[in-house]
Amino acid sequence: MSVEISRLANGLTIATDTMPQLESAALGIWVKAGARDEAPEEHGIAHLLEHMAFKGTSRRSARRIAEEIEDVGGELNAATSVETTAYYARVLKDDVPLALDLLADIITDSRFDPQELEREQQVILQELGAAEDTPDDIVFDHFQEAAFRGQIIGRPILGTRDTVKSFTSTGLRAYLGQHYAPDRMIVVAAGAVDHDKVARQASDAFGGMAAPGPEKRRAIARTPASYTGGEFREVRDLMDAQMVLGFEGRPYYARDFYASQILSMILGGSMSSRLFQEVRERRGLCYAISSFHWSFSDSGIFGVHAATGEAELAELAETIVAELMKAAEGIGEDEVVRARAQMRSSLLMSQESPASRAGQIARQILFNGNPITNTELMDRLGAITADRLADLAGRIFQDKTPTLAAIGPVGKLPTLDDLAGRMRGTTSSRRAAGGR
């Protein structure tokens, strides 16, 4: 597979990966604007805009949008993240022009009808209520807020009840006009597609969009993220406790990005991982445990999530800390080989799905400036050694204040200061003994 790229004079990027053996295609428009690109009074508007894009254009009603894509057996959807918003479709190969026309229509000509807006605001208010009732989801929002205290990047994507209710059609148009600039947008298609045809249609649809001037670029510049660490806990009368313990991670472009992904795989990414084997299988301290590494354009978060009963919570937290510190003391070569194989297979298998491949290409171009070849990916993974991972673990887990978020019967959970002290004590003991 090879990626073809075209760029319009106004800055819009068009990228395709043709898979001639397929009968279907996935395509979408990715915008480098998400929850992080909102002013304080706009908190939640990026997510609401994504919802409203499907509620009617000058050419199509909301019902007609749904009927046209479903008449050909296709799917149309969208998603908002911290730094991007994506609008995408899956169709059979003959229906790629229709799908791209629908996507272009909802982005360039949405009406934002006030009555539709009011209905969609109620839908999102229900989402907010459902999130509050789902502690294993909301704990991650509180975790990110604590990690980036007082910053836009730390705010939940959905917004608040007050901000969501305050938005108007005029405000939606203003946000779209400011942030949906052609040099911040990428049209990507993968599967049974022809690059020249996609590029011509994208040029017809978006070529007339004006490129932003220097003043507009300065106006939408992001405030750099600054990891703070911190603690959030909420005592609730629940059957189990949800806990996330985390640290500053690495951004997309950093040298340690793929090493951080491998480290997460070794610690809690599978049934053979250290945390799963020690915490769940050997000690039986929880029913769910996993690790993750989230990257942003200029920062990241490395975390461990676990769910357990009140009686096991204190020992669980202490055991997690102990396992993290062990990783800083040494990683086995067999673990590196296993994790590298898992990541390699995951990357390559995902490329057999047009939808996964399109998303992968979009993210790589948005955050790296260009797609990454499989050869380059495998070279990067092959350069990761056990010593490098142990060194990375020491730097991630001991350099800065951790972040802790917990919801449920969490009264027996050690404080953040106590857990951080255990890490510092481990560091001091190892250094006194002449270790790394």
Where in the sequence numbering do the catalytic residues fall? 50
10 Å CB burial of residue 356 (0-12, 13-18, 19+) is: middle
* Tokens (6 digits) for 351: 């490329």
Instruction: Convert 145-160 to b/e letters by CB count within 10 Å (16 or more is b).
Output: bbbbeebbbbbbbbbe
Q: Is the dihedral of CA 226, 231, 235, 241 positive or negative?
A: positive
Q: What is the DSSP string of 359-403?
A: HHHHHHHHHHSS---HHHHHHHHHT--HHHHHHHHHHHHHSS--E
Q: Over the range 236-273, which residues count as b (16 or more CB within 10 Å of their CB) and which as e?
A: eeeebbbbbbbbbbbbbeeebbbbbbbbbbbbbbeeeb
d(CA 412, CA 364): 43
